């Protein structure tokens, strides 16, 4: 089970970080929402900046293969 209080990464190994939690939901999701920043994305362009921030439900699951959130192995 995903623990949002521990370091996270994408299932495919790409680095990411939790940047915000919306306890009562957000415009995108009615339930608790987590906002994650992809750290290996070039944000010097608008497109890169827009694709670097992803919204997740509490379970950290994504519809993109390899992009589920998991805890980092330490």
- Write out the chain's pLDDT in tens, 74 residues: 999 999 999 999 999 999 999 999 877 778 888 999 999 999 999 999 999 999 999 999 999 999 999 999 86
Domain layout of the chain by residue ranges: 8-60
Alpha-helical runs (H) found in the chain: 46-51
Model pLDDT, residue 66: 95
Cβ atoms 2, 71 nearer than 8 A: yes
Give CA–CA dist 4/11, Å, rounded.
Answer: 14
Which H helix or E strand runs over 55? strand 53-57
In the numeric block, the tokens 């415009």 are attached to: 27
């Amino acid at each position: 089970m995903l623990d949002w209080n521990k370091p996270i990464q994408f299932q495919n190994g790409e680095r990411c970080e939790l940047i915000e939690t919306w306890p009562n939901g957000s415009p995108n999701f009615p339930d608790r929402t987590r906002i994650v920043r992809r750290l290996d994305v070039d944000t010097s362009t608008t497109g890169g900046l827009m694709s670097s921030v992803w919204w997740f439900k509490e379970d950290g699951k994504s519809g993109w293969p390899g992009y589920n959130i998991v805890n980092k192995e330490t």
